[in-house]
Structure 1
């Protein structure tokens, strides 16, 4: 119990020579208070409920507009005519036998659409409340008169909404589709929550709002590219969005973020105060995000290489190629655009193909058995 008061020691949260009593010179509504973070808990639950409604009622119509289809639809139709079974019976067999970890396109589209609309809304709201602020144009303004900087209500709710959203992602992490970078995503969400919580309590709000705005800008392009990737007939749109996203990600995360944001917190902040625990803790969290940026940049560059390689191969193709080969090439190109989001489709495809073969063989054997029985019965009658 004695450790709890030590957490709020002023040496951890405030620059040397500043006490909590000094912070009281700000108006009650103008200074961030730690218990304000409790607002993020009901907001996180609210985002979970709102996401359920969105994916249940709004995402399916959007998916139909983009012609998002479930996999194996054509296989189901062919098996219906081959086996003499109803569509419901075939789909039920697939639900029982196919790889349960393989998510359907409509579910992936719903998750991408939800994140797209949140990032778009958060970016537009953040830009509206920051575009006319002096620290948006001059980063030295982030530290002028720190920590005695009044907090605006718009920035308070900007923080709470972002914190509630990332909290909802953690609440849903056990039921969401697991990606290849699942562990990195968990680390990113935790680092972001710690970063937002600490920067709010330590009144790092000005630089914190810039960090959130910078990250949301490229996330919009990523989720929109995924949405068109899951659709049918949007290959060129998906390719264009992916290229724009790759450029935006590399510029914002590998150029602007370290050269502007991290440089501001490491160097320019020293013009306003001496280093203290919060200074080191905040910068360590920013470094964790930067390491994750480098990791994801490597994945993106590898996909760009595959994407360009696929383009070159496509340009060199003969006009006499079959439509089946062209469809396979289209699927391969779209999978390269998925930013490593799914489990390996080739492995899943082999599994499903083997299951299709098993089902087909069963149907053929059943038909052959019935045919032989019918022939034997007719022969007995003839004798």
Structure 2
């Protein structure tokens, strides 16, 4: 087709645009993150293009011509004016500025030159006259014979049309006719365009050197369709919400139930039976016992924690897989809440932004695993983690780009876009990956294997064919693929055919079910491998999960042959290259998920102290010890309350001056808040033109954000300054350093002083200065409990535990207040920051994970078995910590309600579920 069009009739791109894009990249390198954030902000808004989507009567409406190509080859597109069409007479308009995602998707918008005005009908009008040469007639014939279609845009609403009509009768032979008239029917609702339709007619036979006119007609008609619903006509609900879709979800859920039952059977029956014989050894510190008379997985206890071959590559694959998993979850949620599928290229833009933003994930995970394996070349490993996925994408893009250039397709990536992508990688992705790797390397610590690794690897015995690792690997991906293969059909149909995928709620649930099936399946595969006395479980667990990519690629071949009518070198190359890339990404994700699940499984089966029976015994022992201590405190020589105050006087580290300082600082904070609201928040609200309701809520969040951020940074600085960061990685070491008469460092005194004063001020602010909510009573109780807990841990010298509590809690509050501010500001420019709010609230889960793991376990178990016998008031201290934990659970149920409502589609806009109905937003300040 490229050779059929004369060179002098091709529409060439402006070559200076390449140098302009490159110049933009060089000039704005320092502001690249800000540019990416603004682009993401723009796609999350309702007004997603450069125009406002609102018009006045008679205002110009632009018709953009995009691409043309074969109907059966969706990705094989060419510039619209590569066919010998002609433009309208109106040429005085600026060129459309494509985004990075537009260029990657092959979008090539050019002005049509047609004069269209809002609510102004245009009768049938000729906009140009064509006289075709022989070569141009052949080009049209080639396009009509191959069912070429074209795409246009009016106010970001797509239009599709066919170039001409092709018939091939046995009697009359081939008949190819060109459509020369286009009727545009545009529906409007108020001052917005809500629907567009294109009708092509007036067919003519094409002959060389014969002049004919191209005409158009515009008809405006009122419509009842709302602006927000104008894309609904492009969504095929009958296809995506078919009952087979629900059946697929139910099938996956039942598969998860079955596999979880199998894994539970392994853990609760087989392993518990094995450990029952070693109940007498629960208190032994050395797990390295004599297993010579055993069989199966217990024979290889000295080899299972051996580092795998190629540890750098292995850690890179795991880090990249977890990065992909986080990226997939975040992009699905963003798309679901922001409805990004309604805007051209928005999902791809969000994917690029989120990939760069979450780059530290791959570095952190890869760095932790590599350090755990004893690796020393961490810089090389970090570069590997940061470059692995980009190199995969670059390889696929290069192959696709070469074939696109050969075909002169719009799918060829411009040089400026390449430079922008390279800049994002070099200036954002790579540095963030290095930072994540450094953090992971420092936080992973030394390997803490429950048993010693043999110096000489144990020989692997011969086994039956069905126990060979390669067969286990192949079988490991079968059930995970079975849980998603129906959803894969919908995804492939959306990407390779003319469907808009919009059921991202389904995709989110299927992704979670896929992760669950993969985890269970890899655990079962690993257990089978260990029972055959083969300790090479690390690579096997990863490859068992990653083998789903093999089944996906086989399915893509089946789909290409039986479900599509694609043809030609470019489309075939594009299909198999990018299908392969998709399969690799899914394989990396599932392989990493499978390895992480299996690694945790290995910790359970190799550490008897983590067995359920051991946990029950440990809990009973702790409760008995607490009861004995409680009874001892109230023995005959203990007289309450005189002995209580006597212990408090001997232990208390607080001085009267500390109490006065706290009260004075609380009053100062209240005054500072009043000035902060009056001189900063109110002018900002007036400048941003916020509503009265939002103006009443914003000062609270801005003030809390400022204070929480300051307090958390101060706590972090104190942890580093006083060398207490080790208590986070090894919290039980707190009791080895504890002493009743030790001095509390000055930096820790400052932390307690500021924190206690702030919560005193916050108690007053919640009652008298803030909007009253459903949980305000709980909030007041929380603040009073925090004051009591701070004062008690400060006085009883439990500051080592207390500072961990402050570190874990304040970081969640920082993100929570940021989310509230983003939500409030969305009313100013109608942007959807709902995902940001949920993501920030999701960080609250650290209070439900790290808090019991680091704080409750240390204070409850460590104080009994590791601490000195004369710990003062430790039951009271633990009681308050547990109260704080239950309050966190109470607040977390609001997030669970939010997730449920979003998953069931009850609402799309996030609202604060803690607010009272019909409550006013007035503050009592």
What TM-score do you get using the length of structure 1 for normalisation?
0.65
Q: Give, in whole Å, the separation in 2 of the partners of 1:39 and 1:339.
A: 37
Distance 1:275 1:113, change over 3 A: same
CA distance in 1, matches of 2:907, 2:696: 31
3-state secondary structure, aligned to 1:178: coil
- Structure that is richer in strand per residue: 2
Per-residue deviation at 1:248? 1.0
Given candidates 317, 331, 343, the residue that maps to 2:916 is 343
Q: How far is 1:203 from its partner?
A: 0.3
List per-residue Cα deviations over 1:357-381 (Å, max 9, x = no partner).
xxxxxxxxxxxxxxxxxxxxxxxxx
Residue matched to 1:204: 798
Change (3 A) 1:68 1:275: farther
Residue 710 (structure 2) pairs with residue 121 (structure 1): yes
Corresponding residue number in structure 2 for 1:301? 896
Q: 2:753 aligns with which of 154, 157, 160?
A: 160
Q: Distance in 2 between matches of 1:67 and 1:309?
A: 34
The structure 2 residue matched to 1:272, chosen from 867, 878, 884, is 867
- Determine if contact 1:130/1:136 at 8 Å carries over to the other structure: no
Equivalent residue runs for 1:59-138 within 5 Å: 59-64=681-686, 67-70=689-692, 104-131=693-720, 132-133=723-724, 134-138=726-730
Match of 1:8, SS?
helix
Identify the match of residue 213 of structure 1 among 800, 807, 822.
Answer: 807
| Structure 1 gap ranges (5+) | 14-19, 24-30, 71-103, 315-332, 350-383
CA distance in 2, matches of 1:108, 1:303: 20
2:775 and 2:907 mapped to 1: Cα distance? 28
Q: Pick closer, same or farther for the CA change 1:275–1:344 going to 2, 3 Å.
A: farther
**1:256 paired residue number:** 850
RMSD across aligned C-alpha pairs, in angstroms? 2.7
Deviation, structure 1 residue 182? 1.5
* Structure 2 residue 906 is matched with structure 1 residue 285: no
Structure-2 change in CA distance of 1:120 and 1:313 (3 Å): closer
Cα pair 2:842 2:895 within 8 Å, conserved: no
Q: Secondary structure at the match of 2:873?
A: helix
What residue number does 1:98 align with? none
Query: Structure 2 stretches of 5 or more lacking a match?
Result: 1-638
- 2:662 aligned with 1:40, yes or no? yes
Q: Work out which of the residue numbers 714, 733, 756 in structure 2 matches 1:141.
A: 733
Shift of 1:68: 2.5
Which stretch shifts more, 231-240 or 141-150? 231-240
Q: Which residue is equivalent to 1:239?
A: 834
Check conservation: 2:662, 2:754, Cα contact below 8 A. yes
How far does residue 141 in structure 1 lie from its aligned partner after superposition?
Answer: 2.9
What displacement does 1:144 show?
2.2
Instruction: Give the SS at the match of 1:173.
Output: helix
Contact kept? 1:228, 1:234, Cα under 8 Å:
no
- Displacement, 1:66? 5.2
Q: Distance in 1 between matches of 2:737 and 2:913?
A: 43
* Equivalent position of 1:192 in the other structure: 786
Match of 2:268 in 1: none
2-side partners of 1:43 and 1:110: how far apart? 20
- The Cα of 1:171 is off from its aligned counterpart by 2.2
Partners of 1:228 and 1:142 lie apart in 2 by 39
Using CA pairs under 8 Å that are at least 6 residues apart, name the structure with larger relative contact order, 1 or 2.
1
Shift of 1:60: 2.0
CA displacement 1:119-141 (0-9 Å, x = unmatched): 01111111111134232332123
Separation in 2 of the partners of 1:260 and 1:221? 21
Identify the structure with the greater helix proportion: 1
Cα distance, 1:66–1:144 mapped onto 2, change above 3 Å: farther
Matched, 1:53 2:675: yes
CA contact (8 A) 1:136 1:210 kept: yes
Change (3 A) 1:65 1:237: farther
| Native 8 Å contact 1:221 1:241 kept in 2 | no
Contact 2:819 2:841 in 1 (8 A): no
Query: Would you say the 8 A contact 2:774–2:916 is kept in 1?
Result: yes
SS of aligned partner of 1:146: coil
- Tell me, yes or no, if the aligned pair for 1:228 and 1:235 is still in contact at 8 Å: no
Structure 1 stretches of 4+ moved >4 Å: 2-7, 64-67, 233-237
